């Protein structure tokens, strides 16, 4: 591992002004204070629809890029909305692209549920199932709820609430220490 651990941030939302993306952008802002590097994955919309026929060498460039950045990461942090009781199709598509590779296998991985209290459990359950197929190492204490409404975002698009920012710092620290083992 490099001296500063790198955590890949995966948002499941393509929406402009996404609260899930804001959680991860806030984690990115907090990361230096806990001695962690983060990289925001920006190419969700560029991934082609997964087709097993295309899961061969050479991979479509966006899929190869995804696997390369997953490979470089010491750990993964996901924040995704729930759509119709499960994951957004575009994000499930990203996860489908990871199944044929080994990059996620044994990689410390956690998710933040940013939905309102009592919501988002379907997305969490699907994440747990799909990540199980990929062999990701789920870091349970780093899987936390940080409810974030659209009114919680400041003009900079980030979460201002210090308690939430502290929680994000703790999550990053837990993932980084798992990545060092």
Binding site for ligand FMN (CB under 6 A): 13, 15, 18-21, 81-85, 115, 119-120
Smallest separation (angstroms) from ligand FMN to the CB of 93: 15
> What whole-number distance in Å separates Cα of residue 100 and Cα of residue 134?
8
Q: Note whether 55 and 24 are within 8 A (CB).
A: no
Give whichever of 132 and 157 is closer to ligand FMN, judged by the CB atom.
157
In terms of CB distance, is 52 or 118 closer to ligand FMN? Answer: 118
**Nearest distance in Å: CB 111, ligand FMN:** 13
CB-neighbour burial class of residue 29 (10 A; exposed 0-12, middle 13-18, buried 19+)? middle
Of residues 21 and 74, the one with the C-beta less far from ligand FMN: 21
Query: Residue 14: CB partners within 8 Å, gap ≥ 6?
Result: 44, 45, 88, 90
Cβ-based nearer residue to ligand FMN, 32 or 85: 85
Taking the complex as a whole, how short is the minimal distance between the CB of residue 99 and ligand FMN, in angstroms? 24
Closer of 6 and 123 to ligand FMN (Cβ): 123
Nearest distance from residue 79's CB to ligand FMN, in Å? 8
* Rounded least distance, CB 22 to ligand FMN, Å: 8
Rounded Cα distance between 142 and 172, Å, is 8
């Amino acid at each position: 591992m490099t001296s500063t651990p790198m955590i890949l941030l995966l948002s499941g939302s393509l929406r402009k002004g996404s609260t899930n993306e804001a959680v991860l952008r806030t984690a990115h802002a907090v990361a230096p204070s806990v001695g962690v590097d983060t990289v925001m994955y920006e190419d969700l919309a560029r991934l082609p629809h997964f087709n097993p026929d295309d899961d061969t060498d050479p991979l479509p460039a966006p899929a190869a890029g995804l696997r390369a950045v997953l490979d470089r990461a010491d750990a993964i942090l996901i924040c995704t909305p729930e759509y119709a009781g499960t994951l957004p199709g575009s994000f499930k598509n990203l996860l489908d692209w990871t199944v044929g590779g080994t990059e996620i296998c044994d990689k410390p991985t956690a998710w933040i549920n940013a939905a309102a209290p009592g919501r988002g459990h379907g997305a969490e359950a699907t994440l747990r199932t799909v990540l199980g197929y990929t062999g990701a190492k789920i870091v349970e204490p780093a899987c936390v709820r940080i409810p974030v409404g659209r009114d919680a975002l400041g003009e900079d698009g980030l979460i201002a609430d210090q308690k939430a920012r502290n929680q994000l710092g703790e999550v990053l620290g837990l993932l980084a220490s798992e990545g060092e083992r």
